[in-house]
Amino acid sequence: MFKKILIANRGEVALRILRACRDLGIQTVAVHSTADAEAMHVRLADESVCIGPAPAAKSYLNAQEILSAATITGADAVHPGFGFLSENANFAQMVEEHGFRFIGPSPQHIAMMGDKITAKKTAVSLGLPIVPGSEEGVRDVETAHSIAQSIGYPVLIKASGGGGGRGMQVVPDMSLLEENYHAARTEAQMAFGNPEVYIEKYLDFPRHIEVQIIADSSGNVITLGERDCSLQRRHQKIWEEAPSPAIDETTRAALCDQVRTAIQKLGYQGLGTLEFLYQDDQFYFIEMNTRLQVEHPITEMVTGIDLVCAQIRVAAGEALSFTQDSIRLRGHAIECRINAESPLDFLPSPGTITIYHAPGGPGIRVDSALYPGAIISPHYDSLAAKLIVYGHTRAECLARLDRALSEYVIDGIQTLIPFHRALVRHPKIIAGTYHVKFLEQHADDLRHKEMGF
Ligand code: ADP
C-alpha cells in the first residue's frame, strides 16, 4: 500500500480523497494555488505545497509543478480527483514516467475514452449500443448534411474532445445546419483545442443513466448499480439519484451485465463510469468517464462501499475485497450539487462565506470544504458543496432531503439551495417522471411558483 499520496486537486474532492487516505493510514500532500493558501484541503493535509498563482492553467493544471511537489515531498502516488488533469492521458503518463503511481486507469484507456469518437467506436466493438450518428469526425458541411438527412432532424453536433456539457449544438432543422456546424467547430477549437465534431441523433426526452464500475489488476470487474443524472442545466448535472426511478431490477441487471462484459473485454483497471441515454426502453452509450465522479457518494450510500478507498487499493495492486454477488443495493440516495450560483439564472456567485451551518441528522452526509470565512474564488468551478441524503425508500429520502435543505445555511454568496428546495417538492420530481430536458422546460414555474421569485 502507498505511504504518501499527493492530491492534485482542490475543494471538496481534495478533502474527500484526504479522508479516504486517513482511513487507510496514508499520509497526504495537498497542492494549492496562492488563492487557496487558507483552503480546508491545505489545512487538513499532512503537508502542502504552493504550485502557482490563482489561474488553474498556472497551478492545478501545471503538471511540472505538481510533479516537483510530488518529488520534494517523497509521495509515491498521485490522485487527480476529477476535473483538472484527471482525464489527461499525458499527465497520467508523466506521473508514471517519474516513478509515481497514477491513481486511475492506464494512459491508453484515458486517451481512448477522452476522444468521444474513439470512445463510441470502442463501445461498438465491445457490443454496446450507441446513439445513431456519424462514425467519424465530420470534416465538411456537405457530409454533415447527408448524415443529418439520413438520421433525421433534430441532430446534435458534438465536439470530439468535449466535456463538461460544453461543445454541443442542437440543430432543429436543415436551415440551421451550416451555421451551427461552423459555430460548433469554432467553439470546439476554442474550448478544447481540437475542432473535430461529430453528429448524433438528438433524442427528445431521454434520461441520463450511468453505471459505476470498478476493476482490479487481476481481471475482476464489478458493477455497482446505476445513477440517474437526468436533472441537468446546460447539459450539466445538478441532482443525481441511485437507483434510477425509471428502471426496474430486470432492466438494471441486463444493463449491468452488458457493461461488465464490455469492461472485461476492454481489460480496464480502476474506477469508471459508462454513461447512457435511455429512451423508449433503449439504452445508448454516450461516453465513459475514466475517473472518480462528482456523484460517486450516492453509489457509496446504496452499496456501502467506499469508492475512493477501493480505487486507491486497486491502484496499489490489491485485488478487490468484494465480489459481484456480494453487492446488494439498499435504499435510495440523492445528491444535490450546492453550486455557488444564483438560483435564478445559474450565474456564478463568488465571494466569502459569512455564515455556514451544515444540516445533520439521520441519513445526511455533506461533502464540502466550506467554513465561515472560506473564499469561493471566481477562478474555479462553482461546485461548493454536495448534500447527499439516504433513505430506506425514495419517499423517505425525499422527506429527509427536504428537511436537510431547510436546515442548510450558507450566507455571503448565492447558492442553489432555494432551487433544490423547489425541486424536491415538485410533483414530477416526487413522481420520478423527469428527463434531461425537465429543468429547461420547468425552470420558469420552479422560479416563480415554487421559489417565489
Ligand atoms: P459531456 O461529456 O460534455 O458531459 P455528454 O456526451 O456526457 O457530454 O452529454 C451530456 C448531456 O448532454 C447528456 O446527459 C444529455 O443530457 C445531453 N445529450 C448528449 N447527447 C445527447 C443526444 N444525442 N440527445 C439528447 N441529449 C443529449
292-324 per-position pLDDT tens digit: 999 999 999 999 999 999 999 999 999 999 999
What's the CA-to-centroid distance between 233 and ligand 1, angstroms? 11
Give the residue, out of 199, 238, 436, 440, with the most ligand 1 atoms within 8 A of its beta carbon, to mutate for a pocket test: 436
Element (H, E) at 189: helix 177-192
Cell of 32: 494549492
Is 291 one of the catalytic residues?
yes
| Helical packing angle, 394-407 and 417-424, nearest 10° | 150
Q: Measuring CA to CA, how many Å separate 128 from each of 113, 201, 263, 312? A: 14, 17, 10, 28
3-state class of 200 per DSSP? strand
* CB distance 333 to 397 below 8 Å: yes
For 260, which DSSP code?
Answer: H
Q: Is the CB of 163 under 6 A from ligand 1?
A: yes
- Please work out whether the CB of residue 400 comes within 6 Å of at least one atom of ligand 1: no
Counting ligand 1 atoms within 8 A of each CB, the residue from 277, 290, 439 with the most, and so the one to mutate, is 277
- How far apart are the C-alpha atoms of 289 and 105, rounded to whole Å? 10
Q: Which residue has the cell 486517451?
A: 111
Pairing, β 47-52 against β 27-33: parallel
User: Measured from the CA of 289, which atom of ligand 1 is nearest?
Assistant: 2
Helix (H, G, I), strand (E, B) or coil at 227: strand
- Over 80: is that where the pLDDT of 448 sits? no
User: Is pLDDT of 449 > 90?
Assistant: no
pLDDT at 201 over 80: yes
Q: Is the pTM of this model over 0.95?
A: yes
Nearest to 403 by CA among 450, 362, 368, 445: 362
Asked if residue 162 has its Cβ within 6 Å of ligand 1, the reply is yes
| CB-based burial label for 53 (10 Å; 0-12, 13-18, 19+) | middle
Residue 162 CA: nearest ligand 1 atom is 3
Nearest atom in ligand 1 to the alpha carbon of residue 165 is 3
Query: Is residue 52 pLDDT above 80, yes or no?
Result: yes
- Across the beta sheet with 47-52, the strand order is 47-52, 27-33, 4-7, 77-79, 101-102
What is the model's pLDDT at position 163?
A: 86
C-alpha cell at 365: 452526509
Looking at ligand 1, which residue's alpha carbon is closest to its atom 21? 202
What is the dihedral sign for C-alpha 86, 294, 246, 225? positive
Kindly tell me if the per-residue pLDDT of 122 is higher than 80: yes
Could you tell me the distance, in angstroms and rounded to a whole number, from the CA of residue 165 to the centre of ligand 1? 7
Mean pLDDT of the chain: 96
Q: Could you report the per-residue pLDDT of 130-182, keeping only the tens digit for each?
A: 999 998 999 999 999 999 999 999 999 999 998 888 889 999 999 999 999 99
Cβ(287) to ligand 1 under 6 A?
yes
Tell me, what's the pLDDT at 412? 98
State if residue 165 touches ligand 1 by the CB under 6 angstroms criterion. Answer: yes
Residue 389's H or E segment, with its range, is strand 383-391
Q: How far is CA 354 from the centre of its chain?
A: 28
C-alpha 328 to ligand 1 mean position (Å): 29
- Domains of the chain, first to last: 4-85 (3.40.50.20), 132-201 (3.30.1490.20), 207-450 (3.30.470.20)
pLDDT of 406 reads 98
**Predicted local confidence at residue 328, as pLDDT:** 96
Rounded Cα distance between 240 and 263, Å, is 23
For residue 242, what pLDDT is reported?
98
Q: Give backbone dihedrals phi and psi of 437, rounded to 5 degrees, phi first.
A: -100, 5
Selecting among 227, 233, 252, 291, the annotated active-site residue is 291
CA of 283 to the centre of ligand 1 (A): 13
What are the φ and ψ backbone dihedral angles of 226, each rounded to 5 degrees?
A: -115, 165
> For the residues 195-199, what does the mean pLDDT come to?
96
411 C-beta closer than 6 A to ligand 1: no
Confidence tier at 446 by pLDDT (50, 70, 90): confident
Mean pLDDT (whole number) for 343-365: 96
With both helix axes pointing from N to C terminus, report the angle between 11-24 and 307-315 in degrees, rounded to the nearest 10. 70
The yes-or-no verdict on residue 120 having pLDDT over 80 is yes
> Which atom of ligand 1 is found nearest the CA of 437?
16
- Collapsed DSSP state (helix, strand, coil) of residue 52: strand
Q: Which grid cell is 115?
A: 476522444
Cβ 363 under 6 angstroms from ligand 1: no
List the beta bridge partners of residue 409. Answer: 357
pLDDT tens per residue, range 75-91: 999 999 999 999 999 99
Q: Provide the pLDDT confidence category of residue 116 given band limits of 50, 70 and 90.
A: very high
Report how far ligand 1's centroid is from the alpha carbon of 187 (Å). Answer: 16
pLDDT confidence band for 74 (50 / 70 / 90): very high
Q: Is the CB of 203 under 6 A from ligand 1?
A: yes
Name the percent of the chain lying above pLDDT 70: 99
Query: Residue 453 has what pLDDT?
Result: 65
